[in-house]
Structure 1
Amino acid sequence: MMRLGLLADIHGDVNQLAKAIERLRRESVDTFVLLGDVIYDSRHADEIVELLRSCGAIGVWGNHELGLCVDPDVEMRQWYSESVMEFFSTLQPRLELEDVLVSHTFPTEDARDVLSFYVGVPEESDVIENCFARLPQRIMISGHFHRWFAATPSGKLDWKGEGPLDLASEDRYFIVVNAVMNGFAAVLDLERNLLVPMELS
């Protein structure tokens, strides 16, 4: 069983990312997992990648780095260093870790298509129902929406990141993690079945 350090929507915020990595290291996470939108544009891309390499981060791409991860063209390569391009080539459209499925937006969508990032919001029950119906994983985790959100097949939970979320082993979950740029990160403890939000300030 693993303790995952979850980093959503950094958007190039070097200072908040450094705080998040330091905090998650103190929590002794086993793996740092990116939930996409690592950068906003080329600004601070090298510093961001250096920090992420320092903690061995893995994860998925978001809409903001889509052009770096899927068939980057010559013009795109001119804006970013070789180190940045190499790092983003390691990100995936979706990532499965034990019985956890990580994606930037809804895991039912094709992350190679820019339109897939704009199909709805978590509060729309039919979108979430589709995730539970089509995918087998017990826990699905996304970023993208810059807020806390959780639902089970029975519906939305009354939880907005104000405290730990107990993930009953007999149930399934769709969870959105709030953004690093907003001052948040999270630990998913798969042994204790617990998601712990963290405020970085």
Structure 2
Amino acid sequence: MRIAVIADIHGNLEAFQSVLRDIDGSGIQHIVSVGDNIGYGAESEAVMALIRERGILSVLGNHEMAVRYPRFFKWFNPQVQATLQSTFAGLSSQTLADIHRMPSLLIRWGSRFVHGFPPKSPFLYLYQMRERKICRAFHRIDEKHCFIGHTHELNLIRVRGGSARYLPFSRGVAVLENDAAYLINVGSVGQPRDGDNRAKYVIWDISASSVEVRRVSYDIDTAIRKILDAGYPESFAARLR
């Protein structure tokens, strides 16, 4: 079985549609989003409608948390807060209901899916976690594999015998060893921050016990124009270049 794991679409419909076309040609049985489907980009409602149409499972990202629990709104800086207000105003009642039903974590096929960091935080960033905390997190969960997003970067961390080691994970296929646990950061569909402006996602092949990085080109100019036409900060558009 092959599972596509996506993250941080952030209202970028062009990137999301291109990723879905790539997924449809890759023998995928299921798609899971680890959150932040909305925000930053100009088409959060269209992205959420497509997630609903495709039956994609999703956990809460920190942007969805701000919709569901307004007390978390202050977590964002003033510029993002202003944009989120506009984003939230454009969400349909169906999308709001979908967000209110999203769980903070999913456990499927023996693996855990969470936005930020296990066990279920949508706010903690991987780069905040030292080796000891990464190892401790796996002592607190039963699953050997945990898929995350939030940082908009790709990471593969092998946890074994009280140590956590970052492994190369920029392209191609990585085999997951049976005697180790893994934290897999799947990158960002809609707003990569790893120096490569293509959309990113990961294919998890359960039978082969492997994860594969996929990089997908999309119409960046159109996504940028839509952000600027929506009156969102130019910095949000510049991040896509």
- Identify the TM-score tier after normalising by the shorter chain: 0.7 to 0.9
Q: 1:187 — aligned with what?
A: 203
Secondary structure, counterpart of 1:108 in structure 2: coil
Gaps (5+ residues) in structure 2?
Answer: 72-84, 193-198, 218-241
Secondary structure, counterpart of 2:172 in structure 1: coil
The answer to whether residue 206 in structure 2 is matched with residue 197 in structure 1 is no
Aligned equivalents of 1:109 and 1:56: distance in 2?
22
1:146 Cα deviation after fit: 1.1
Aligned equivalents of 2:90 and 2:183: distance in 1?
36
Q: 2:183 — aligned with what?
A: 174
Aligned equivalents of 2:146 and 2:98: distance in 1?
24
The letter of the residue matching 2:63 is H
Please tell me whether the aligned partners of residues 38 and 63 of structure 2 are also in contact (alpha carbons under 8 angstroms): yes
1:77 Cα deviation after fit: 7.2
Aligned equivalents of 1:179 and 1:25: distance in 2?
18
1:191 Cα deviation after fit: 1.1
The answer to whether residue 37 in structure 2 is matched with residue 38 in structure 1 is yes
1:7-156 matches, cutoff 5 A: 7-40=6-39, 43-70=42-69, 79-111=90-122, 117-118=123-124, 121=127, 124-153=130-159, 154-156=163-165
Q: Which moved more, 1:57-66 or 1:37-46?
A: 37-46
Q: Percent identity?
A: 21
Aligned equivalents of 1:158 and 1:124: distance in 2?
15
The letter of the residue matching 1:88 is I
Gaps (5+ residues) in structure 1?
Answer: 112-116
Q: For the aligned residues, what is the CA RMSD?
A: 2.3
Q: Which structure is larger by alpha-carbon Rg, 1 or 2?
A: 2
The letter of the residue matching 2:187 is N
1:187 Cα deviation after fit: 0.7
Please tell me whether the aligned partners of residues 45 and 84 of structure 1 are also in contact (alpha carbons under 8 angstroms): no
Higher-helix-fraction structure: 2
Secondary structure, counterpart of 1:17 in structure 2: helix
Aligned equivalents of 2:10 and 2:68: distance in 1?
16
1:27 Cα deviation after fit: 1.0
Q: 1:114 — aligned with what?
A: none
Q: TM-score, normalised by structure 2?
A: 0.72
Q: Which moved more, 1:187-196 or 1:62-71?
A: 62-71
